Chain A
């Protein structure tokens, strides 16, 4: 130890300055630098070259130079005390400026020891800032200004937020309470601050909230923080209301704080309820309609059948007592009973689409067209051309059969040419297939294009062509249930083409609310 001290005593005292981590300069009474250490050379960007011999003003930005000269003269007129903590700017060799703390220590004979600290570097060390975040005092000031600005903005956001924003500490004590919270809960800010947040909750949360926090602080098990939930809030007037609560956690110093954002969802809940009610009403209306169709099939048909049978018997049993007019009337009566029967069948068939679900399978439309044609058995003077390679579609077999059968039957029914031609074509598009069924029949005027797809609408008196007006309505319903479109192009006396699309993917498949437990059909 003694040796060490002696060794130090023998050293040139400048050695101490040389090895100091702080930038150090010694100036003479004229402000000329007579000594500089390595740190100083680095700080001012004069690596490898001594500062000695330079005027100290060299290290001061031009803006401050004059002031410095004035001060220096003034300083020399009075004995100089040590001054430290001056925040100044230094000028580096490359012309850039640097924020520095400067301490001046007067030495003997008019010499001054100048110690300079790089403020930015010190800040970085103090705050554990990552290098590059703050380079100098100007940046820091800008950052401080920005921070103040941001705080003001954040405060404004909290103050004007539509949702209640409430912060609490680890004990559940309310620390902040924004205007929306006042409005939503009915407490003034001053009434709420300092009180336990559980006052804003109805039982059982009210009693349990302290435990909730305790449990979280102990176990870190998140039940609401970062998750959020719908729960109930309690207003000052004792009423409860539905809220959506989200909670986040933050650290302020060594304390944990929790921020709750509360959204009053009374209106949304009401809307949800009325929507649910509406859906329920629609469902029951739909159920009623389904039942209606079922009841129609039984309860309307029985009397109709009775009318038909009785009329038949009268005309058979009483034929001698009836004159021609009476027999004709009975014939018409029986015919109308039959027509009503087909109408009821039509309604039932129409209502079954979408109401009754059949398992979807891969249906080969080539087979469907073949089957339809064999069922319809078109007369020999009608030629039917079917495009080869119709696709296979994932659908209900019966619906696909009804689709093609009705369109083909229509084409056959209204063919008025000696050489009939029916063509079935299709095109593959990106999302769907477009099918066409064209004929060279009587055609339809454009003004009827809409009407023909409506239920029970026919263009020819029913006595001439026995038609219920269900076929195209049924076709349209099937196509639309599968997410496709149907339209017609036609020229009177020349022919008609019915186009329809069916989606290629199963994505547009329809959903229906067939109740579980219904037999698959």
Chain B
């Protein structure tokens, strides 16, 4: 990530998936703090909480209880203060309707969680590499 001090917000309800991301980041020596919330609603309150620093990227699962990823995207992209935070969807879904909805809502990427852990690490490596290179508005 470009700014190692900025947090990565992981919106994920599955504990092992969260562990996988955490482990992969650690393995790749990504030092950014990882903050995890379990659904879209928690993610919104985290982002709107002035006490919390703004994350540099949001890794978003789609299928979650309470508020799913698509609904979260609809709300966050309407919020002028939050809409520019890049959101990368990290999901199981291979459904076109999910891909279309996500890109219509301005996601920065859509990555299917590989079943194979090694491939998962490679996916996270690519995300990190890209967002180390890419500029972000302040």
Contact = CB atoms under 8 A, between A and B. Distances in A.
Specify whether A and B are partners: yes
B128 interface: no
Given A306-B16, A521-B100, A312 B94 contact: no
Nearest to A310: B16
A356 B16 CA distance: 31
A332 to B, nearest CB: 14
A461 interface: no
Given A294-B95, A309-B20, A313-B23, A301 B100 contact: no
Nearest to B63: A298
A308 B121 CA distance: 13
Contacts of B14: 302, 306
A304 B100 contact: no
B64 to A, nearest CB: 10
A29 interface: no
Contacts, number: 57
Contact of B116 (A308, A310, A356, A519): A308
A334 interface: yes
B96 A519 contact: yes
B3 interface: no
B98 to A, nearest CB: 10
Contacts of A341: 115
B97 interface: yes
Nearest to A299: B63
Interface string A292-328: 0010011101101110111011000000000000000
B93 interface: yes
B19 interface: yes
B93 A305 contact: no
A341 B117 CA distance: 13
Given A305-B17, A356-B96, A519-B100, A312 B117 contact: yes
B111 to A, nearest CB: 13
Nearest to B92: A301
Interface in B37-84: 63
Contacts of B101: 519
A297 B63 CA distance: 11
B16 A309 contact: yes
A77 interface: no
B118 interface: yes
B97 A305 contact: no
Contacts of B23: 313
How many B residues are at the interface, by size bracket? 20 to 34
B116 A345 contact: no
A301 B115 contact: yes
A337 interface: yes
B120 interface: yes
A303 B133 CA distance: 33
Contacts of B94: 297, 345, 348
Contacts of B120: 309
Given A298-B63, A302-B14, A308 B96 contact: no
B110 to A, nearest CB: 15
A334 B92 contact: no
A169 to B, nearest CB: 65
Interface in B82-124: 92-97, 100-101, 113-118, 120
B17 A298 contact: no
Contact of B17 (A294, A302, A345): A302
A298 B118 contact: no
B118 A312 contact: yes
Nearest to A356: B96
A381 to B, nearest CB: 30
A518 interface: yes
B100 to A, nearest CB: 5
Most buried by B among A299, A309, A356: A309
A305 B92 contact: yes
B96 A521 contact: yes
A309 B23 CA distance: 10
Interface string A84-115: 00000000000000000000000000000000
A394 interface: no
Contacts of B113: 301, 305
A474 to B, nearest CB: 15
Contacts of A50: none
B115 A297 contact: no
A338 interface: yes
Contact of A309 (B19, B92, B95): B19
Given A312-B117, A338-B116, A302 B92 contact: yes
A510 B19 CA distance: 46
Given A308-B115, A312-B117, A348-B94, 10 more contacts: A298-B92, A301-B113, A305-B115, A306-B17, A309-B117, A309-B120, A312-B116, A338-B115, A519-B97, A519-B100
Interface of A: 294, 297-299, 301-302, 304-306, 308-310, 312-313, 334, 337-338, 341, 345, 348, 356, 518-519, 521
6 contacts: A302-B14, A305-B113, A309-B16, A348-B94, A519-B97, A519-B101
Which A-B residue pairs are the 8 nearest by beta carbons?
A306-B16, A312-B117, A341-B115, A521-B96, A301-B92, A309-B117, A298-B63, A305-B115
